[in-house]
Structure 1
Amino acid sequence: MSPVEWPEVPSKRTRDEAVASDRDDQLRVEVNGRAPPPLWSPAQRRLGPPPESQRPGTNNHQIPPLQFPARHDSLVPPHSPRSAKNGDAALTPVQLARTLEQDVNPATRPFSPSTTTRKELYAIVSQVGEGTFGKVYKARNTVTNVHVALKRIRMEAERDGFPVTAMREIKLLQSLRHQNIVRLYEMMVSNGSVHMVFEYMDHDLTGVLSQTQFSFSEANLKSLCSQMLAGLAYLHHKGVIHRDIKGSNILINNRGELKLGDFGLARFYHKRRRADYTNRVITLWYRPPELLFGATVYGPEVDMWSAGCIMLELYTKKPIFQGNDEIHQLDVIYRIIGTPTAERWAGVTELPWYELVKPKDAIPDHFRELFQKWLSPAALDLAEQLLAYDPARRVTALQALEAPYFKDEPPSPELPVGLSTLEGEWHELETKRERAKKRRKLETGM
């Protein structure tokens, strides 16, 4: 069999409804059955909403600094908002953000001194990404000069209150404290927008794999893989499934530290009782075969398939399974690891969409011969275990960290501290823009 030819990464990856929500995601927080007022200050309510040109994110060239108070005037007692359908008054978006802010560890906040009651606390530097439910900006604290990431929660279409999907991400992040999970500092409300304030990470994996200034050593790649698995092991221990592990959601700073980000699709799961979830999650190229076959009852093993895809991407510098739609995605998987059989995957024929998408022809497994030029034998073994067809046989994050690839086979993991020598910052957004520029030059012949 000839080697698999991978196409160029498209300028916009197929998400294929990866932002689809579970059944309760359509709920919105209301007050006595009525939509809460806009998130403007009293002065703004007298004058009306700010002009379009002065709203954060409306002008990519000249984005005005956000007017954030360093401290909030009043805090409401923390409690979980309830749907007004039950007859209980729920929190307004402003109250909700203030309530959620209380739970964030104050020691981690990049706050300006408390004497600053109202000033331009954060000045937006540039847009660095777009999360599942909002744009992400690099911003500078105008007092401390510390850089942070501001994730603006989309509220334009949320006339009925604060989106439950965003509230879920906030509550999830408040419960997580780990060196390989991005840190949420606080919540900020300004000019009708709600922002999540995160620690700033210089790059994402998609970006750094596309640059040519710095080459990762074998020890560096092993460190990145180990850090990713450590973050997943912690998440799964805490009962959380990420459900969108991909290159742009794996963040890396100039010290070589890796952190998982964008928890917009994450869910708590029941460790002893499998729950029913949507299968329209995980970006297509990283989506496990059970979801492509229509499974809705699943657990953390879906993240482990995505981790296997990332492990291979670290070595080959490009996504491995690049499908255009669900049917083509399965076909791409078949051509590399063969078609699933009852021996390899007990119960595959019982999955909801099996009869609709089952393979027409039997294809043998070519995985090891295709990747042996990039991966060592121990690395191949681990990647195979991460990409097992049967979710029940797929290795867990904790088991993966104990694999011979990490424990026995040299070299030992080393942080890629050489990233500090890179010129510029490397994110998927810049990678897309550079690719689009090159494409335009080719088309115009300039």
Structure 2
Amino acid sequence: MEKQQAPSKSWSIYSRSEITSKYEISGRVGSGAYSDVYKARRRSDSVMVALKEVHDYQSAFREIEALETLKNSPNIVVLHEYFWSEDEGAVLVLEYLPTDLAAVVKSAANKDGIISVGEVKRWIDQILRGVDSCHRNSIVHRDLKPSNLLISSDGVLKIADFGQARILIAPQFTGNSHTYNQFDEQLSSDPAPEVDPTVDSSQFIQEHAEQLHREKYILEPVDNMRTNDFTNDIDEESVTHDGAASCVATCTTSDLEDPFQQSCYSYESEVVGIDGNGSLTSCVGTRWFRAPELLYGSTSYGLEIDLWSLGCIFAELFSLEPIFPGNSDIDQLGRIFSILGNLTEEVWPGCVQLPDYKIISFGKVEKPIGLEACLGNRSSDEVLVVKKLLCFDPVSRATAVELLNGKYLNEEPFPVPLSELRIPCKDDEDSSVEWNDYNKDFGSDSDFDEFGSSHLTTTENGFSIRFS
């Protein structure tokens, strides 16, 4: 039986008549540093929805923009409508999806210790289709992880939580077709415009479209020049996902008190991390799934950071445990190097130009563990899929469409039908069981003691920290 929480005065959503008149709120089901998620029933037709109350101005608009751009993608969570209020933040009305990929992995680990090859392939196929939709529309998600891959009761997987997503501009192809150099306009330092509470959200967005344009990335694909805009209202009646077959959901509901969202890598850090030239920030995403270029402070990255995250997710599907569960950014790099070997010019030409490469160094890993050992019970084709994604050089990472068209998904055993997927019910799970330290307190990223001995020296760049 679902646990419900009584309304609190601090939960402003209960006092917003424009929402409560349309939706019967049953309780809060998720919470992060800048948002709260509630389960609700739409009064007009009794369809269950998720109400995501976003307390950060830019994060709300980024999520609205991304979801409107992707609204026809079957593996992206559906945004039905949204509300805007001057003092109470935005409320997004999304599909309600009852579980996520993290629960699938946890259930398999607790029961028979394996997910069948056909099931794994169906999950991977759906994830790749969702990511391909994002990347075809030049959207980098920046926080892909199992708990952001939500699943309906009939097995449809959808990517959610686009609060850290960005739309990129001006692609410059280097190496292969999915590498982009980003150029961003500086975020406006002006305060958020005042909102007349009598004006509806679509009119508000239209009136401030120019300012919102300054706060987003617009990418123009080479084969189809376009500009994404979200000034048009959502046509609620055009949404075809309602109905009895849809157990619809959203947004990191698996972690009521997500330590990642409360860490220095929350959206707040992202805003602070944008420099005077409007560069991207490296403080995005959940650490365990964060690409090496981000860990080394890069602000010139592209869609490839999502591809590294996919490699971590797929490895977890295969092994039923996270492949790089770092306790800090330094520990995260150490775990990556222990498996893949050191990051050098030989494996990634130009890596020495990463902002923190000359500041933080590691002793040589003489005998890396290797992905084969980490995925010892999996086939060579499965290991190869992970290898194609967990490449130090972003240019070398396989794109979603390349993997969709590749050997792994197109040879027997084929992906099983959705009806054959085993889908756990999160409400029935033993909440007392800890899983893979997802809910642990990671502590400060500056805590080097857990990693091992270190040596600090001064350099022409300021200082260098070497870990052994």
Aligned residue number for residue 65 of structure 2: 171
Q: Which runs of 5+ in 2 are unaligned?
A: 1-5, 173-180, 184-278, 436-468
2:84·2:90 contact (CA, 8 Å) conserved in 1? yes
Aligned residue number for residue 249 of structure 1: 148
Aligned residue number for residue 69 of structure 1: 18
Aligned-partner Cα distance in 1 for 2:282–2:309:
14
Q: How does 1:231-246 map to 2 (within 5 A)?
A: 231-246=130-145
RMSD: 2.8
Identity %: 34
Name the amino acid aligned to 1:171.
E
Q: TM-score, normalised by structure 1?
A: 0.66
Change in 2 beyond 3 A, CA 1:189/1:299: closer
Number of residues of Structure 1 aligned to a counterpart in Structure 2: 322
- Of 96, 116, 121, 1:217 maps to 116
- Of 326, 337, 342, 1:339 maps to 342
Following superposition, the deviation at residue 250 of structure 1 comes to 0.8
Name the amino acid aligned to 1:180.
N
Following superposition, the deviation at residue 144 of structure 1 comes to 1.6
Change in 2 beyond 3 A, CA 1:395/1:364: farther
Aligned residue number for residue 103 of structure 2: 207
Name the amino acid aligned to 2:46.
N
2:142·2:305 contact (CA, 8 Å) conserved in 1? yes
1:140·1:147 contact (CA, 8 Å) conserved in 2? yes
- Of 162, 177, 180, 2:75 maps to 180
Following superposition, the deviation at residue 167 of structure 1 comes to 1.3
Structure 1 residue 147 and structure 2 residue 96: aligned?
no
Structure 1 residue 261 and structure 2 residue 156: aligned?
no
Name the amino acid aligned to 1:412.
F
1:222·1:412 contact (CA, 8 Å) conserved in 2? yes
Following superposition, the deviation at residue 67 of structure 1 comes to 5.2
For residues 412-441 of structure 1, what are the alpha-carbon distances to aligned partners after superposition, in whole Å with 9 as ceiling and x for unaligned? Answer: 112453567744547xxx8876549xxxxx
For residues 346-400 of structure 1, what are the alpha-carbon distances to aligned partners after superposition, in whole Å with 9 as ceiling and x for unaligned? Answer: 1112211112222212343432431343321111111101000111111111112
Larger radius of gyration, structure 1 or 2? 1
Aligned-partner Cα distance in 1 for 2:324–2:394:
18
Following superposition, the deviation at residue 334 of structure 1 comes to 1.0
Aligned residue number for residue 413 of structure 1: 415
Name the amino acid aligned to 1:169.
E
Following superposition, the deviation at residue 233 of structure 1 comes to 1.1
Aligned residue number for residue 104 of structure 1: none
Name the amino acid aligned to 2:351.
V
Change in 2 beyond 3 A, CA 1:185/1:322: same
Following superposition, the deviation at residue 247 of structure 1 comes to 1.3
Change in 2 beyond 3 A, CA 1:363/1:395: farther
Structure 1 residue 274 and structure 2 residue 182: aligned?
yes
Aligned residue number for residue 315 of structure 2: 312
Change in 2 beyond 3 A, CA 1:168/1:124: same
The secondary structure found in structure 2 opposite 1:210 is: helix
The secondary structure found in structure 2 opposite 1:128 is: strand
The secondary structure found in structure 2 opposite 1:305 is: helix
Change in 2 beyond 3 A, CA 1:166/1:431: farther
Structure 1 window deviating more from structure 2 (203-212 vs 389-398): it is 203-212
Q: How does 1:377-396 map to 2 (within 5 A)?
A: 377-396=380-399
2:281·2:299 contact (CA, 8 Å) conserved in 1? yes
Aligned-partner Cα distance in 1 for 2:182–2:89:
36
The secondary structure found in structure 2 opposite 1:197 is: strand
Aligned-partner Cα distance in 1 for 2:368–2:295:
19
2:319·2:375 contact (CA, 8 Å) conserved in 1? no
Aligned-partner Cα distance in 2 for 1:431–1:68:
36
Q: TM-score, normalised by structure 2?
A: 0.63
